[in-house]
C-alpha cells in the first residue's frame, strides 16, 4: 500500500535490562530491529536515549527523528554480520585522509589548513606511532604501511556499536585521523566539524553561500553530531 507508514501504538517506552545488555520495551513488549533481531544495546544510557526517541513519536513514526535508534539498528543488522568489511572500509580512509591533502594557494587557506590540521596529524603520530605524509593538490600520496596498520588496529578494536558511529564520523568528515582525535577527546565535536569544512567554508567566504549546498551541509553536520553522541552512549 503506497503511502502507508507505521503509527504509534504504545503508551510508554521504557529502557530495561535484558540478557546481554539493555533493551527498549513498548508497553512491556521488547523492540526488535528491522531485520527482526532483538534490540539489545550495551549500556543503560543508550537504552534510555532510544526509549526517549520512541516516546517522542506522535502519530506516524518518523525514523528520521530517531538517529540513535537507527544507529543501534545498523550496529546489529549491518555492522555485526559484516564486521570485517565495515572495519576495512573505515580504515581505508587512512590512505587518503582529508588532512593530508592541502591547497597550493591562496596562502591564507594554506596557513589555515596547517594551523588546524598539522596538530591533529602530529597527535596521531605521537599517540599511535602513525606518521602520515602531506601533499598538495589531489594526486594520491602513498602512506607508510606501518602507519596504516597502526591506524587500522584502532578501528578493529572498536565494538560493533562504536563502529556504527565511527563509520559516520569518518565518512562524513573524510578523515580517519579527525574521527580518532574526536573519539579520543583531543578535539570537540563542533571544532571537529569545522576542521572538516575548512575548504568549503573558505569557498563560501570567498564566493558566497549556495542555499542547496547550505542545506546539505546542515544535514551532514546534524548527522556528524548525532554520530558523536551515539559513540558516547556506547561506553
- 146 part of a folded domain: yes
List, for residues 106-125, the tens digit of each pLDDT value: 999 999 999 999 999 999 99
Distance CA 185, CA 232 (A): 11
Same domain, 195 and 222: yes
Residue 123 lies in a domain: yes
Q: Are residues 217 and 105 in the same domain?
A: yes
98 and 33 co-located in one domain: no
Let me know if residue 186 belongs to a domain.
yes
How many H helices and E strands in the chain?
A: 10, 5
Q: Is residue 97 part of a domain?
A: yes
Residues 205 and 169 in one domain: yes
Phi-psi region of 24 (alpha: psi -120 to 50; beta: other; left: phi over 0): beta
Q: Does residue 3 fall inside a structural domain?
A: no
29 and 145 assigned to the same domain: no
Q: Is 217 in the same domain as 108?
A: yes
In terms of domains, do 144 and 60 share one?
A: no
Is 225 within the bounds of a domain?
Answer: yes
**pLDDT tens string for the chain (235 positions)?**
345 568 889 999 999 999 999 999 999 999 999 999 999 999 999 999 999 999 999 999 999 999 999 999 999 999 999 999 999 999 999 999 999 999 999 999 999 999 999 999 999 999 999 999 999 988 999 999 999 999 999 999 999 999 999 999 999 999 999 999 999 999 999 999 999 999 999 999 998 888 899 999 999 999 999 999 999 999 9
- Which residues partner with 26 through β-bridges? 13, 29
Alpha carbon 148 to chain centroid, angstroms = 20
- The verdict on 91 and 192 lying in the same domain is yes
CA distance 158 to 38: 21
Measure the CA–CA gap between 29 and 94, rounded to whole angstroms: 43
Do 116 and 167 lie in a common domain?
Answer: yes
In angstroms, the CA 212 to CA 210 distance is 6
Residue 7 lies in a domain: no
The predicted structure's pLDDT at residue 2: 46
What is the extent of the structural domain holding 58? 13-65
Say if residue 55 is in the same domain as residue 144: no
CATH number at residue 206: 1.10.3580.10
Q: Is residue 50 part of a domain?
A: yes
Dist. CA 140–CA 135, nearest whole Å: 8
How confident is the model at residue 3, as a pLDDT?
A: 55
Whether residue 95 is found in the same domain as residue 176? yes
pLDDT tens-digit readout, 173-189: 999 999 999 999 999 99
Domains contained in the chain, number: 2
35 and 89 inside one domain: no
User: Which CATH number do you get for residue 36?
Assistant: 3.30.2180.10
**Residue in 23, 42, 45, 21 with CA at minimum distance from that of residue 32:** 23
Amino acid at each position: 500500500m503506497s503511502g502507508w507508514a507505521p503509527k504509534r501504538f504504545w503508551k510508554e517506552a521504557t529502557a530495561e535490562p535484558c540478557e546481554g545488555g539493555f533493551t527498549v520495551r513498548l508497553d512491556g513488549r521488547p523492540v526488535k530491529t528491522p531485520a527482526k533481531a532483538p534490540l539489545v544495546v550495551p549500556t543503560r544510557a543508550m537504552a534510555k536515549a532510544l526509549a526517549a526517541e520512541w516516546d517522542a513519536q506522535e502519530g506516524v513514526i518518523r525514523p528520521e527523528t530517531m538517529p540513535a535508534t537507527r544507529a543501534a539498528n545498523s550496529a546489529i543488522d549491518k555492522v555485526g554480520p559484516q564486521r570485517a568489511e565495515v572495519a576495512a572500509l573505515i580504515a581505508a580512509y587512512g590512505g587518503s585522509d582529508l588532512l593530508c591533502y592541502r591547497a597550493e594557494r591562496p596562502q591564507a587557506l594554506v596557513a589555515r589548513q596547517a594551523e588546524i590540521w598539522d596538530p591533529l596529524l602530529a597527535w596521531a603520530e605521537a599517540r599511535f606511532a602513525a606518521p602520515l605524509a602531506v601533499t598538495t593538490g589531489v594526486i594520491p600520496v602513498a602512506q607508510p604501511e606501518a602507519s596504516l596498520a597502526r591506524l587500522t588496529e584502532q578501528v578493529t578494536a572498536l565494538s560493533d556499536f562504536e563502529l556504527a558511529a565511527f563509520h559516520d564520523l569518518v565518512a562524513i568528515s573524510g578523515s580517519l585521523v579527525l574521527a580518532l582525535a574526536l573519539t579520543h577527546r583531543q578535539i570537540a565535536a563542533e571544532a571537529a566539524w569545522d576542521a572538516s569544512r575548512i575548504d568549503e567554508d573558505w569557498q563560501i567566504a570567498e564566493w558566497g553561500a549556495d542555499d542547496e549546498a547550505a542545506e546539505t551541509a546542515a544535514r551532514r553536520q546534524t548527522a556528524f553530531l548525532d554520530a558523536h553522541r551515539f559513540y558516547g552512549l556506547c561506553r
